[in-house]
Amino acid sequence: MTQLRAVVTGASSGIGAATVRAFRGAGWEVVAVARREERLRALADETGASVLVADVTDQADVDALRDRVRELGPIHALVNNAGGAKGLDSVEASDPEDWRWMFEVNVLGTKRVIAALLPLLREGAIERGVADIVNLTSIAGHVAYVGGGGYNAAKFAEHALTAVLRLELNGEPIRVIEVAPGMVKTDEFALVRFGGDRARADAVYDGVPEPLVAEDIAEIIVDAATKPRHVDLDLIVVKPVAQSAPHLVAKGPLTVRSAGRA
């Protein structure tokens, strides 16, 4: 039987690290990619994943990543998870450098890694009958919100590139899967967004009953990548029950308004 192999970017924390654990739990070999080596090493010790230090915004790093992964063999899934938000200021007031960061990692990083690894995914598709590209966008890639600015723009762009890729790969046994989560309580997402301001980051989740956690998304990713090969989950939008839209999140316990019996 083919040994399945996945590459997961942004694997040093949050959704990416949970996805590495979930794939390993399902018996896959995993190459975990991020910039922080120490965290990757700890994840490797814990899970047995291979690790690769790379900045997805750097073409030389992505080329080296491709060469290293090629030595390991074909791949059957690529999870483009490296990404994030910076700032929550208006279009008028926000810092263009934050926008540049968001475009570099969410959009161009995803594009670079796809371009580098598609040949190895094609080899994997020949072996397995199908291969998967899973892009982590966000509900911010579908619905604008005040202060969303650069993050909305970057995630809308990542959604668009995912849709284009699906058209371009038509006829090949490669599924292009977009996972678009709402609020996921991870250690670092909000911390990065607010430049390391822990109090502001924690406040995002204050009072929110049961936000999603990284493991919820990881389970969905592995489920999508292990569906029968004719089943393509194109777009998976997943939110906590408390969140109806990016800007509409219930605080406090969820309560039934009326029992509803006449």
Ligand X SMILES: NC(=O)c1ccc[n+]([C@@H]2O[C@H](COP(=O)([O-])OP(=O)(O)OC[C@H]3O[C@@H](n4cnc5c(N)ncnc54)[C@H](OP(=O)(O)O)[C@@H]3O)[C@@H](O)[C@H]2O)c1
As annotated, the active-site residues are: 151
Q: Report residue 122 as tokens.
A: 């094609």
Work out whether 246 is an interface residue with ligand X (CB under 6 A).
no
CB of 258 to ligand X, least distance (A): 32
Work out whether 36 is an interface residue with ligand X (CB under 6 A).
yes
Nearer to ligand X, 74 or 150 (CB): 150
CA distance 238 to 217: 8
Which regions of the chain does DSSP assign to beta strands (E)? 5-9, 29-34, 50-53, 77-80, 131-136, 174-181, 184-185, 212-213, 235-238, 243-245, 248-249
CB of 106 to ligand X, least distance (A): 6
Contacts of residue 88, Cβ cutoff 8 Å, sequence gap at least 6: 147, 148, 193, 194
- Residue 188: CB atoms within 10 A of its CB come to 13
Work out whether 192 is an interface residue with ligand X (CB under 6 A).
yes
Range in contact with ligand X (rule: CB under 6 A) among 28-36, 88-96, 245-253, 254-262:
28-36
Tell me which residue of 15, 210, 119 sits closest to 34, measured CA to CA.
15
Work out whether 107 is an interface residue with ligand X (CB under 6 A).
no
CB of 142 to ligand X, least distance (A): 11
Position among 105, 107, 116, 242 found at the interface with ligand X (CB under 6 A): 105
Tell me which residue of 131, 116, 122 sits closest to 225, measured CA to CA.
131
Nearer to ligand X, 88 or 192 (CB): 192
Edge to edge, the sheet with strand 29-34 lists 50-53, 29-34, 5-9, 77-80, 131-136, 174-181, 235-238
CB of 73 to ligand X, least distance (A): 22
Nearer to ligand X, 125 or 140 (CB): 140
Residues that bind ligand X (CB under 6 A): 9-16, 34-36, 55-57, 81-84, 105, 109, 136, 138, 181, 183-184, 186, 188-189, 192, 214
